Amino acid sequence: MVGSDYIDIVTKTVKRAYNGQAETLAHVASLLAHTVESKRNVFVFGCSHAGIIAEEVFYRTGGLAVINPIFFPAMMLNTRPITMTSSLERVTGIGKIILDKNNVKEGDLLIIHSVSGRNSVPVEMAAEAKARGVNVVCITNVAYSSSVTSRHPSGKRLFEVCDTVIDNMGEPGDACVTVDGLPEKIGPTSTVVGAALINAIVIDAVNVMIADGTVPPVLMSANLDGGDEHNEKIFEEYRDNIFYM
């Protein structure tokens, strides 16, 4: 296989994940729209590379200004040594602390991205949030997660503790390309598929808000004329729902 095979696999995986979960994705889009309309809060979290999805959708041109990333410094990709992120993701108790310190409350929406869904932090955060009346959505790989054991004391994996599950439909282990002479697969799909799905959800949520007669708080590029002024109005209107400023 070569690079073009990877593009083919990713494209097919995105389409399969989107088309095969249309009802679920529409539900999440509606949930996102109504969370914004009710002036509740929206959060996205992931550990290490899973956190790239949180970076993708906050303070983003063409995105909703009210999506808040949850960044825990020790689990981000600028942590050194980077292997510490893998160790800390397995520690019980951290998920609850992160949740406590990030204004996540009843009626809010929390989207958690974890490909394996087996480690303590995302599982604990999801379970704690759900118990508090937060609407909890995960983006995960159900086949991958089903093939491994949980590292959380409950024995549960992420897809087993969330209100709504979105499957990225990738391969166990995430990498998808086989190369002759190499025992390991290469070419992970989770970031591309996760970014496509969450952006599709945002677009559908915007359409729901428009249908409801709500002006969606969509950011313009600060490099377009009028962009700064447009965005400042949104920041002012939604200042109680934006925590990254």
pLDDT of 219 above 90: yes
Residues 6+ apart with CB under 8 A from 185: 171, 173, 175, 176, 177, 178
Q: Looking at residues 204-229, what average pLDDT do you find?
A: 98
pLDDT of 1 above 80: no
CA–CA gap between residue 46 and residue 111 (Å, rounded): 9
pLDDT at 103: 86
pLDDT of 115 above 80: yes
pLDDT tens per residue, range 38-57:
999 999 999 999 999 999 99
Paired sense of beta strands 186-188 and 175-177, if any: antiparallel
pLDDT of 2 above 80: no
pLDDT of 80 above 90: yes
The closest of 71, 67, 57, 69 to 35, measured between CA atoms, is 67
pLDDT at 199: 98
pLDDT at 197: 98
Structure tokens belonging to residue 169 = 């439909």
C-beta of residue 63 within 8 angstroms of C-beta of residue 38: no
Q: Sheet containing 164-167: which strands, arranged edge to edge? A: 67-70, 42-46, 109-113, 135-140, 164-167
Exposed, middle or buried: residue 106 (CB in 10 Å: 0-12, 13-18, 19+)? exposed
Q: How much is the pTM?
A: 0.97
Residues 6+ apart with CB under 8 A from 28: 111, 137, 164, 166, 201
C-beta of residue 89 within 8 angstroms of C-beta of residue 150: no
Length of the chain: 245
Q: What is the mean pLDDT of the chain?
A: 97
Q: What domains does the chain contain, in order, with CATH numbers?
A: 23-237 (3.40.50.10490)
pLDDT tens per residue, range 154-201:
999 999 999 999 999 999 999 999 999 999 999 999 999 999 999 999
Q: Looking at residues 77-105, what average pLDDT do you find?
A: 95
pLDDT of 17 above 90: yes
